[in-house]
A and B are shown apart, each in its own frame.
Chain A
C-alpha cells in the first residue's frame, strides 16, 4: 500500500496523545485505508517500509541515575546505544527496569537488542557521539578524557556544575567537545542545554542539536558559564527558599504550597531540594561560588548544617521533610 496522505494531529483524545501522525493509504485497486503511523513516512512511501532516519550510534559513559536515564532516552527513540559501566550487570538491570516501566515486556526486548553494555571503554570508539555522565568530579573526568584522546566522534559531557572549557583541556579534539546537559529524568525532560566553549565547532553544535531533536527534546545553545541557564536561575532560587525557611517566614509545606500555586511550579523548592539531595545542592552552589565569587551562589548556612548532620533529603530519609 502506498502512502497518499498524511496528517499530524495536534489534539489529544482519551486514547491518543498528540502529536501523532495518521496516514491515508491506497492499494492498487484504489481502496483507501487509514493507519496511525508508528514511524516517519512521507507521501509516496510504501507502507511497511519506513525511511530509515540516519540515527548515529551513540555511547554513554556512566550508568548512574543520569547515565542510565540518558541511555534509556536514546533507546526509547530507536537509537543503538553502547554503555560503558564498571558493573555491566547492574547497569543493564537499571536500564531494563526503566524501559519495562514504559514499554512492557515485548517492546523492552526489542529496545534492549539495540543495547551493548561493556566495562571496556574501547568498545565505544566506533560511536559517532559519546555522552560522558560519570561522577561530578574534575579529576575523574580528566582521567576519563585522557583515555579517549583517540576518539574521533563528538564527545559531550553531561556535567551540570563543572566548567566545560576547563574540561576541554583534557580532550583529544577540542572542536569536537561540548556540554550536552540533560535533566532528570533524562527520558522525560524535554530540555537539553548544549554548552559550547570557544573551541567548539559549529558542526559539533549542530550534531548535538540534531541528536537532541531526534530524542524529541528541545536543544538550547548556551555559552559556557557557571550553571548554564537552568541551574544559574534555579540554585539561587532554591537557596532563597532555604533562607526563607530558616528565617521562619513560613513552614516548609507553606513555602512549597506558595510556589506551586503562585508560580505554577509542579513541585515546591524544598521538596525539590530533598529530591536533588542537599549534598548535591551544596556542592553545585560551592562550585558556582568558586567560579564566580558571587555572594548569591553562597549556600545557606542551614543547607551546610543539614549536610553535616546527614539530612540529605529523600536518600537519607530526612531533609526538609521526613521520609521514614
Chain B
C-alpha cells in the first residue's frame, strides 16, 4: 500500500509570487505536514502546463532542485489540466525506487493579457481541428453543455446551481480564490455570456498557485492510503469523437480505479471532480458512475452534492471557486481529499471513509481517477 503522508499548498488566486516562490511555499508546507526534511525526498515529479509560455519558465526540474537544496532526480510532466494528476500517478510509480516522493504542481498565469491566455490555454486542444476553427475551451464546453441539454434535458439552471454550491463551499476554504466573496444566484445568472450558453460564472477563473503532495511507502499516524490511482487517455478534439456528452477516459479510469480499490460507488462519500466548467462537474458525476447518464442534474437540484448532501462534491470549492492553477489543480484535489479523510477540513468537513478525485486534461483527453482511504 502507498500513502500520502504530507500535503501543502498556497492560496489560489491572483498572486504576485513567482513559480519558484509558489512551489517553495507548497513544498515547505507539505514537508512540515509530513514531518520530513528536504533530504528525505528521494525524487520529485513536477507538473505545470503553461509556465513555458507564461511567465516563460521551463526546466522546472532545476528550479525544484534549488528549492530543496538537494540533487535528487526531478521529472517534469505535462498533460494540460491533468498535469497534477499525472504527477501524482508518476510519484506513486516512483515509490518502486524511493521511500518518499514529492509531487509538486504550479501555474502562474494571471499576469497575461486575456486574449493571450485564451490562446495559451487552447494549446491543450487540437491546433488544427480545434484552435484554427475558433474552438477555445469555453466554446468546446459550451457545445458539450448544449449537447447535454438536448440529450438529457439538463439546463443552464442546473449549471448555475453547481456554480452556486461551489462558491458556497469556497467560502469555507480560506485558501480558495473566491474565499469570502459572496456569489449569489442572481450574480451568477446575470453574469455575461462567455460562450453561449455558458456564462462567466460557469467558468473556472485564471488562478496562480501551487500544491505539493508527499507519497511514501511507510505508514504514519497521519497517513491517508492511496487505494487506486488510474489513468486513461483519449483523443482531444470533438472532431475526433462521436459522443459529446461523456468522456471515455474518465469512464475507463474510474472503472479501473474502483476495481483496483475493491469499492462500490456508494462507499465513496466525498468527491473532488474536475469542474473547469460547471458542465464538466455534471458529466464527471455521470462518467464516474455515481449517477446514470442524464441523472446528475436531478441530484444537483435535490442538493445531494452540497456539503450536507448524500454525496458532497468539490468541498473545497472546486476548480470553479477554489481556483484552477492548471498544473497544481490535480494535486489540490489530493490536498482536499487528505484533509477530509484526516478530519481536518474545518467548517467544510464531511463524513467519509473514502474520497475520490477526478482530474482531466482538455475535454477528457487525459483522465486520472484516484481513490483515497482513511487510515484511522
Contacts and interface: CB of A to CB of B under 8 A. Distances in A.
Contact of B192 (A10, A12, A33, A35): A10
Given A4-B147, A30-B242, A10 B135 contact: no
Contacts of B140: 34
Interface stretch (A14-22, A88-96, A119-127, A200-208): A14-22
Nearest to B241: A32
A36 to B, nearest CB: 4
A8 B143 contact: no
B135 A22 contact: yes
B139 interface: yes
B139 A6 contact: no
Contact of B194 (A11, A20, A22, A34): A11
B133 A36 contact: yes
A7 B279 CA distance: 14
A30 B193 CA distance: 29
B139 A32 contact: no
A34 B146 CA distance: 14
A6 B146 contact: yes
A135 B201 CA distance: 51
A180 B195 CA distance: 33
B238 interface: yes
A137 interface: no
A20 B195 CA distance: 9
Contact size range, B: 35 or more
Given A7-B196, A22-B139, A13 B146 contact: no
Interface in B113-166: 114-116, 118-119, 122, 129-136, 138-140, 142-143, 146-147, 150
A24 interface: yes
B96 interface: no
Contact of A33 (B116, B142, B239): B239
B240 to A, nearest CB: 8
A20 B336 CA distance: 38
A5 B197 CA distance: 11
A31 interface: yes
Contact of A34 (B118, B135, B195): B135
A3 to B, nearest CB: 11
A15 B128 CA distance: 13
Contacts of A32: 238-239, 241-242, 244
A222 interface: no
Interface string A34-55: 1110000000000000000000
A23 B277 CA distance: 19
A26 to B, nearest CB: 9
A280 interface: no
B133 A35 contact: yes
Most interface-central of A15, A16, A30, A34 (chain B CB within 10 A): A34
B195 A13 contact: no
A15 B131 CA distance: 9
Q: Give the secondary structure class of B's interface.
A: helix
Contact of B195 (A4, A8, A15): A8
A249 interface: no
A37 to B, nearest CB: 9
B171 interface: no
A13 B241 CA distance: 24
B355 interface: no
Most interface-central of A7, A15, A31, A36 (chain B CB within 10 A): A7
Contacts of A13: 115, 118-119, 122, 131, 134, 136
A173 B289 CA distance: 70
A16 B134 contact: yes
A7 to B, nearest CB: 4
Contacts of B359: none
A20 B136 CA distance: 12
Contact of A11 (B114, B131, B133, B197): B114
A123 B109 CA distance: 59
B103 to A, nearest CB: 31
A267 interface: no
Contact of A9 (B116, B131, B138): B138
Given A22-B133, A31-B242, A34-B129, A7 B122 contact: no
B132 to A, nearest CB: 8
A7 B139 contact: yes
A36 B197 CA distance: 17
Given A12-B115, A34-B130, A34-B237, A7 B242 contact: no
A6 B140 CA distance: 10
A199 B35 CA distance: 86
Contacts of A14: 115-116, 118-119
A10 B238 contact: no
Contact of B142 (A4, A7, A12, A15): A7
A9 B147 contact: no
A14 B122 CA distance: 11
Interface in B183-234: 192-198
A292 to B, nearest CB: 41
A30 B238 CA distance: 12
Given A13-B115, A14-B119, A32-B238, A8 B196 contact: yes
Interface string B325-336: 000000000000
A32 B244 CA distance: 8
A137 to B, nearest CB: 46
- Closest 9 pairs between A and B when the two form their complex, measured CB to CB: A7-B142, A13-B118, A36-B134, A14-B119, A16-B134, A13-B119, A36-B133, A5-B143, A9-B195
30 contacts: A5-B143, A5-B146, A5-B147, A6-B146, A7-B139, A7-B142, A7-B146, A8-B195, A8-B196, A9-B194, A10-B192, A11-B114, A11-B194, A12-B115, A12-B118, A13-B118, A13-B122, A14-B118, A15-B132, A16-B136, A22-B139, A22-B195, A24-B143, A32-B239, A32-B242, A32-B244, A34-B130, A34-B133, A35-B133, A36-B133
Interface of A: 4-16, 20, 22, 24, 30-36
Given A10-B194, A15-B119, A36-B134, 10 more contacts: A10-B195, A11-B195, A13-B134, A13-B136, A20-B134, A24-B238, A31-B242, A34-B130, A34-B238, A36-B133
